[in-house]
A = this chain, B = another copy of it.
């Protein structure tokens, strides 16, 4: 399905970095969800470059909802959002010269030179603005059903934020609120230190990677499917859409290598008449299905491939090796800006899984 994800609820993306607009169609969403354009704008602002750690290319992100909303509520019909591109400087890009670790060469291999090369074209992170906008509607719908989520920087520049995998479920809601209230998505007081690390990379004409973490609370037990529509599989499928994400792990993930079953098995207990687990090493998912505990997963974010240093590359149109000195405007780290994108994608996937489970109306039912 290429640019569409989901079964009961689907998200379709379109647009290129330097074309007239990017956008998304969100379909299958329940009728009767209140659409708060201010919340959408706020999420777009969280994704927007806004600090010295980001690219100087700033877009206003003025979105238009073309369909699917009537008198402030979703109609249940496809909701199309369009965000015009405005601040475009196409002369910064040169066709045929592949930027290392970008999709220039693979796009050419696939699209035979018909791809729009300006600013990465359809592969540009610019397209994630549409994800943020569409997902913001899903996030608000989930919140109205008691399901909240946030994505924060877990680790960057050698600084580590609180790991929500071990957080007491009763306190998780508060942490999620904390992250969502801050423009720099961290829990602990580490913004200055992380920013300093990112700026240092920029000074050195370099970029920096990191790890982000998403936590969701309020998903009831029994959501997701065995085997191929496991929550893990569906979430991973969605977030790997983002070119900068190179790893996804649930719960303790790769840290389970080196541990024993007796150390990572989550004992089951009963609290207030409800089955819970004493620990949450499985990230809230067993056999692909939610167990009622918080869903927690981490993602590896690669260093932004665009760096100001001279790089070895090729001109694939002329078939020769070249030295590349990138112009254009770039982020030394996308780790802050990627967080609302992942939250939005996760919200879309959860709406899909919940709609399949409880029917298309459930999300708006009171």
Contact = CB atoms under 8 A, between A and B. Distances in A.
Given A109-B221, A233-B240, A246-B249, A123 B287 contact: yes
A232 interface: yes
B201 A314 contact: no
A234 B241 CA distance: 10
Interface in A75-115: 75-80, 82, 98, 100-103, 105-107, 109-112, 114-115
A96 B14 CA distance: 36
Interface in A238-263: 238-241, 243, 245-263
A313 B241 CA distance: 38
Given A156-B257, A228-B237, A109 B292 contact: yes
B319 A114 contact: no
A282 interface: yes
Nearest to A107: B287
Contact of A289 (B67, B110, B209): B110
A109 B8 CA distance: 19
Contacts of A20: 64, 66-67
Contacts of A209: 256-261, 264
A255 B209 CA distance: 9
B32 A12 contact: no
A97 B351 CA distance: 30
Contacts of A79: 14
B228 A4 contact: yes
Interface residues of A, number: 156
Given A233-B237, A303-B259, A12 B31 contact: no
Contacts of A269: 312, 314, 321
A357 interface: yes
A65 to B, nearest CB: 8
B2 A229 contact: yes
Interface in A190-230: 201, 204, 206-211, 220-230
A114 B76 contact: yes
Contact of A106 (B78, B208, B286): B286
A346 interface: no
Contacts of A250: 246-247
A188 interface: no
Report the 5 A-B pairs with minimum CB-CB distance, sorted nearest first: A103-B287, A247-B249, A109-B222, A207-B261, A359-B359
Given A2-B228, A232-B245, 20 more contacts: A3-B27, A3-B228, A13-B227, A14-B79, A15-B67, A16-B75, A75-B116, A77-B226, A106-B291, A107-B287, A109-B222, A110-B221, A208-B261, A211-B257, A252-B302, A254-B254, A263-B303, A268-B313, A269-B314, A358-B361
